[in-house]
Amino acid sequence: MSAYRYRSVDWQPGARLIKPLCESRLALVTTAALYAPDQEPFDEKFRGGDFSYRVLDSEVDLASLRMGHRSLSFDHSGVEQDPNLALPLDRFRELERDGIIGSLNQRHYSFMGSITAPGRLLAQTAPMSAQALQRDDVDAAFLTPV
């Protein structure tokens, strides 16, 4: 890790939740590179990391998802046994059912982790997914970094 050139980012405080969680719409965002069987896999050979994302439907069967995470230092076995570790849809469905959160968005977002050249992610795909979340009236996103 000492040889890794970390990117310096001028961090800006994010948005604040302005209504109670029990009235809020939530979306999930993961960096586990999960994708549905009918979707194009993440390109593990893309130099610097695949900066694209996949939209996952809220009703997706978690067991059907595949993982395209490229990092060799990441142990996939836990997520393969329980995909909720990377995309906790079942847990958030329970929170919605119990009234803890207002609602779960219909769409969730999956990115590839271990992107060593994040320029295009920061300039293109992250803003695109953020705009899509805004169009869906999402109040908060829950990030599961992998």
**Range with the largest mean pLDDT of 10-14, 71-75, 86-90:** 86-90
Q: Which residues contact 74 (CB under 8 A, 6 or more apart)?
A: 113, 114, 146
Q: Percent of the chain, pLDDT > 70?
A: 93
Element housing 113 (H / E): none
- Phi, psi values for residue 94, rounded to 5°: -65, -45
For residue 36, the tally of other CB atoms under 10 A from its CB is 16
pLDDT tens for residues 52-63? 999 999 999 999
SS3 call for 1: coil
Q: Is 11 or 113 the better-scoring residue by pLDDT?
A: 113
pLDDT tens for residues 3-31? 666 667 777 777 789 999 999 999 999 99
